[in-house]
Amino acid sequence: MSALPLPLAEFQSWMQSVLVHPDGAEVAIGASEARRFVAPESVSDVVRERDGLAVAERLQVYAGMYPLRMRDALRSDYPALAELLGEQGFEKLVADYVAVHPSRSFTLARLGDHLPEFLAGCGSPRRRGLRTDVARLEQAGAQVFDAQETAPMDAEALQAISAADWPNVRLRPAAAFRLMRVRPGAVDVLDAVLEGNPVPERAGRGRVEVAYYRKDFVVLRRTMGPFDGSLLSSLAAGETIGSALERAAKSFPRGFPSGEILSGWFAEWTRLGLFSGIERAR
Amino acid sequence: MANRWNLPVLGYGIGLRTVHFADILDRRPAIDFYEAITENFLDTGGRPIHVLDRVAERTPVVLHGVSLNIGSTAPLDFAYLAKVKQLARRVNAPWVTDHLCWTGVAGRNTHDLLPLPLNDETLEHVAARVRTVQDFLGRPLHLENPSSYLELTASTMGEAEFLARLTEKADCGLLLDVNNVFVSSFNHGWDAEAYIDAIPADRVVQVHLAGHTDKGTHLLDTHSDHVRDEVWTLYERLVRRTGLVTTLVEWDDDIPALGVVHAEALMARDAAARTLRMDAADGATAASAAEPANEAVAA
């Protein structure tokens, strides 16, 4: 325990330990972390007593706002997850998560950076996958929102590539583009929240590719089909067009699309601004 | 009286908030200046920075931070400061502000404006850091008095005295939040008028006005309502000392339509004009009352 008055550094360590304690200021004052600096019976030697509010109540004004601030920040980034978990479930998740991953950034926008991986390791295995996928989708949307603006790929440049060169070309993904492979139920959750409908809690079978992109600073989402999703996934991962088509063809041996359909997809992806440039493999 | 650096009086502005983005871009309202929350525009290449760029092209923008952590014993975050510097340059901010507080230690950010013991140790510590930050940013840093809900026994001086000594020692300015003066004075039993009278008027570069919430046992600085009458009265008292001063209305919760927030800023303009006109009239009356005596002496 430190001698009073506390030096500034010790005062700040003490006060922070009280404010971020999950059980509130009254309990935190007596917790071992706080007692390293101030004995519970000496708290009024640190915080001035005044009429109106007791010392613990004054500390609680700050301590009470801390979890609310964390909850609001995470709810703002993960609104569908919050709906899926319900008020109590989301509050518990926030408390558990923030205890492991407190904010270490100047901005609360980074608070939820580890939430999808945190979800993947907690809760019942039956529900974990859907919840994690909902969080991954919402995180992708937030990343696309904040991504730097990059000039989209020039459609003419794409058309100018000779047939011989096509297999060796790579498409550079735009900064504001993410492709996520998730359980289809995760998309249903996001759709239900957007439309104000009750949130379904079915993971669904298989996986779908979901693209997030941005047009005129508005974040948009599109669920891809099995073939174009697979192809787009390979391209976004940096594979050449030739290699990506080969991989897709192996996955769908009986349903390879015509050249016309493929050209249409590439034209559409260019129009949506999913890619920012062309690179030729060496 | 102007501020001692002759920094410009930007007029009567409002905080730049997401809910007003479309209205601001579409209608281009005649708002004197905007204040942007610094951290909301760092590390983003999306719509917020796009809107800020468009706004800054035609209207002055000042930056108001919440994560400088100037009072913390943790080291200054120069990576963060580099981003602030870049943003200030990008929007040509005439100055940058943050709060007299600490927000965290040991690598953690509580995202709260936490109170400091107001004594010589803190004074030396904060003044040295303010000078470092001003040198690094290459533009003025002004500190705001936060609202507070507890006082520390280690304090050896009042907040107004601390601010006066700090701004002198660090040679920085003040962003005086009049609502915070009122809220803290209520919560701690201070004399809000004496606080206003003790502030070094020539260091007040900007003023904040906002609404608060009465929680029964204490006032909470919520920025969720109109400016209260008592705060307007304090603002008028301050303006008598500072003269025209850059004034901004903050509204961060239950944010109404742009026109409502702007109207509140225009009320500040009217209050300042009325106060200074009345003072000028009082001065004229006093002078004319004194004239006969002067004439008699002359005779």
Q: What is the pLDDT of residues A125-142, one digit of tens each?
A: 889 999 999 999 999 999
Residue A275 within any structural domain of the chain: yes
Q: Are residues A171 and A274 in the same domain?
A: yes
pLDDT of res. B215: 95
A154 and A262 co-located in one domain: yes
Q: Mean pLDDT for chain A?
A: 94
| Mean pLDDT calculated for residue range A22-37 | 97
- Closest-CA residue of chain B to A54: B150
Q: Which amino acid is at A254?
A: R
> Is any Cβ of chain B less than 8 angstroms from the Cβ of A87?
no
For residue B150, give the nearest of A59, A69, A109 by CB distance. A59
Q: Establish if A263 belongs to a structural domain.
A: yes
- Residues B57 and B37: their CA atoms lie apart, in Å, by 17
CATH number for the domain spanning A204: value is 3.90.930
CATH, domain B12-298, list 3.90.180.10, 1.10.10.60, 3.20.20.150, 2.60.120.10 = 3.20.20.150
Structural domain ending residue among the three candidates A32, A52, A68: A68
In this structure, is residue A95 part of a structural domain? no
Residue A46 inside a domain? The answer is yes
pLDDT in tens, A105-131: 999 999 999 999 999 999 888 899 999
Domain around A42: 1-68
Q: Which residue of A has its CA nearest to B65?
A: A106
Give pLDDT, residue B287.
53
Number of domain units in chain A: 2
* Whole-prediction pTM: 0.93
Indicate the residue among A17, A40, A68 that finishes a domain. Answer: A68
Domains of chain B, residue spans: 12-298
**Which residue from B minimizes the CA distance to A15?**
B114
A122 φψ region: left (φ > 0), alpha (ψ -120 to 50), beta (else): beta
Q: How many CA atoms lie within 13 A of B289 on its CB side?
A: 6
Residue A196 has pLDDT above 50, yes or no: yes
Residue where a domain terminates, one of A68, A90, A120: A68
Low-confidence stretches of chain B (pLDDT beneath 70): 1, 284-299
User: Residue A271 above 50 pLDDT?
Assistant: yes
CB contact under 8 Å between A149 and B77, yes or no, is no
Per-residue pLDDT, averaged over A222-248, amounts to 94
Q: pLDDT tens across B245-268, in order?
A: 999 999 999 999 999 999 999 999
Residues 6+ apart with CB under 8 A from B117: A5, A8, A11, B152, B154, B155
Residues of A in contact with B85 (CB under 8 A): none
Is residue A35 domain-resident?
yes
Can you name the residues that pair with B34 across neighbouring β-strands? B14, B61
DSSP-assigned letters across all residues of B21-75: HHHHHHH----S-EEEEGGGGSS--SHHHHHHHHHHHHS-EEEE-S---TT-SSP
CA dihedral B92, B98, B103, B107 (to 10 degrees): 30
Residue A78 in any domain: the answer is: no
Q: Does A7 touch chain B (CB under 8 A)?
A: yes
Q: How far is CA B126 from the centre of its chain?
A: 18
User: Does ipTM top 0.95?
Assistant: no
Q: Which residue stretches of chain B are H helix? A: 21-27, 47-58, 78-91, 120-137, 159-170, 178-188, 192-198, 229-242, 258-298
Answer whether A5 sits within 8 Å of B117, measured CB to CB: yes
- A274 in the same domain as A162: yes
Determine the pLDDT at residue B289: 47
CA distance A188 to A183: 9
pLDDT per residue as tens digits for the range B200-242: 999 999 999 999 999 999 999 999 999 999 999 999 999 999 9
What are phi and psi for residue B117, nearest 5 degrees? -70, 130
Helices A55-77 and A8-19 pack at an angle, to 10 degrees, of 60
Is residue A186 situated within a structural domain? yes
Using DSSP, state whether A36 is helix, strand or coil: coil
Angle between the N-to-C axes of helices A8-19 and B120-137, in degrees from 0 to 180, rounded to the nearest 10: 80
pLDDT value of residue B279: 84
